[in-house]
Amino acid sequence: MSKLKHEKTIIRHGSDILSCKGMKTEKKCIQHGTFSVYDHSLYVTSMCLTISKKLHLRVNERSLVRGALLHDFFLYDWHEPTKANRIHGFTHPGIALRNAEKVFKLNKIEKNMIKRHMFPLTPVPPRYKESAVLCVADKICATFETVDGFKTKIKKKIRRVGSNA
Ligand SMILES: [Fe+2]
Ligand SMILES: [Fe+2]
């Protein structure tokens, strides 16, 4: 089985995040199709690193990994048909940031990444390169997560990281 791209880098910068209690909740919450929020977050983090390397961007690699891993740290099932969940797309970045700040000390790049990752749905644009990369990676991954043949392959790689972290 080949590895998830950038697996070592993700574990080096984010092993404390991967093993935290909130991530156990993320494993139980579905994001898209059969992808849990945890699977999605790992996939997005890997995609962020791929994009930044392909474009030769000078990024803060540690912040890129940590902000991406925590970008959807909202910790509830957004598919439940509640009034609050109807506006999940707009509200979850703020909720994720509040939750993440309770557990981890975040720098300004990581905070901005989490808070602005839904741009342009939420109108304030990202401030840093890392936040912009996350915006793009999140949308690419969300699209691939719904494509059948692809999602099985990437999910196997993601599950492997979970057991190595
Ligand atoms: Fe999100
Ligand atoms: Fe996301």
Mention every residue, 6+ apart, whose C-beta is less than 8 A from residue 15.
165
Q: How far, in Å, from the CA of 22 to the mean position of ligand 2?
A: 15
Spatial CB neighbours of 90, under 8 Å, sequence gap ≥ 6: 118, 121, 122
Q: How far is the CA of 60 from the centre of ligand 1 (A)?
A: 21
Could you read off the pLDDT of 66-106 as tens digits, one per residue?
A: 999 999 999 999 988 899 999 999 999 999 999 999 999 99
CATH topology for 7-164 is: Hypothetical protein af1432 (1.10.3210)
List, in order, residues 6 or more apart from 81 with CB less than 8 Å away: none
Express each pLDDT in 111-128 by its tens digit. 999 999 999 999 999 999
User: pTM here?
Assistant: 0.93
Q: How far is the CA of 96 from the centre of ligand 1 (A)?
A: 8
* Residue 126 identity: P
Distance 27 CA to ligand 2 centre (A): 14
pLDDT tens readout for residues 9-38: 999 999 999 999 999 999 999 888 788 999
Listed by start position, the domains of the chain span 7-164
| N-term to C-term CA, the chain | 17
- Is 139 a residue whose pLDDT tops 70? yes
Q: Are residues 94 and 114 in contact, defined by beta-carbon separation less than 8 angstroms?
A: no
